[in-house]
Structure 1
């Protein structure tokens, strides 16, 4: 029996519990397929699940558990009743609590499993599931119009990098918060950078005369609260990481993405109209370094893990 390398943990509360293990590959059920993972993409929710048993329970995850969600790869085995997929198909999607592994097993009709377009790299496809759906849902919720000014908090992160490009493409003036080290990166996305660590309200008044049409807070509620103070309309301020957002602020997540959102993003990527910025790529054996970098919240773009040694 062949083996599978996977990042696993037996307890919640500490990402230090994560370890790389070698596991036997189990036989497939009739409706399952085995995917050899090429690349896995990391998201904050991945390590948040490891740190919180309550959050893990919300996602139906119990120990022993795997790690990660986003992935790309190739179908290498199918069960006898599988008709939708063939061995050799390139695929991508999300496998909650399982993706950081050399292979994964999914049901044929797994809701997020998609074909990888020929013109999209495994690396780009592997980081799209959560960040892409979330950015698309936020953009839809903001309902921007050309010429508007939109404040985006944590604009240099994985979701922010995609969202900023979508807003700029829609003809919007984007003011993006970040650290001083991210300013050149934010400008490359088309945003005007402001430093979140100084007087954010004052900076925005100087840049916009205090006129903000909408805001997306992608980390906490600081940006949402400032947008409210500046009079941004209730209902046009969203947050993605607050369980109890302030009054007038809407909580949005990847689950709110409309059907076809990911396909729209892959079309934009294929045509060169949307970039998928990658902050760093690690090997599977370097998973702990990858998690530490992602947890630092200083990654400009997405963090990925390749299953082969670099």
Structure 2
């Protein structure tokens, strides 16, 4: 039986933290709640003649549920406002690593309710795709030696729904890089392409391709397969205000004096690396080994 070896490159992420806005006094009035407390993008002209509870109920119907942002980042529009998410978050308020504060700021410091969004990452899970055939073939019967064959794959990429806007895009992309000290190893930086394929999708790719080698001791024909490894990053966005608000996902005062008025969960998938598979023959329609990596590994972010 042929002997084979698999080599792969690994990569990691790192995120920085910024401070929340300072609190400012705001009048406790219905007019200010209607005028300044609603999410960015709300058309006030369409809200006339209805009570606060009716307006809140409408926004809640339009808001996302806690399982809707699978492989997507939220934006700053009405449907992504954590204040009107349906169902409780899976996480505790303040849990995880704060990635960015001051997102989706309504900009009201005087005469209004000042609210903004904070983003947190909580866990990272290593996931492997099934083995796929690269189309590469090495026929040892036609070569002088198959003791060591170099293999180079294309860059590893992932695609996520693009629901973020410029504020969140800048807050996240500006902080994402690979951290050399984590157990996931070394790798290249991430690169992004937005509206990929003309749709609301952002493509994320490693800046380096994966390389490795295969070794066989026979004269058979061998096919090169690959198993893509990704990192699914879990987290949530939190809507913060300098005052509590009724009719929202929640309204709880924190130790820092601000109020959490909503939380919305999400996760995104980032490319990690690709394992090179050397065990298949040229006529195999299925890779002979199980999916690489075994069961998904979920650990607290960033996975040190």
Tell me if TM exceeds 0.5: no
Greater Rg by CA: 2
User: TM class, shorter-chain normalised?
Assistant: under 0.3
> Per residue, is there more helix in 1 or in 2?
1
> Per residue, is there more strand in 1 or in 2?
2
Q: TM-score, normalised by structure 1?
A: 0.26
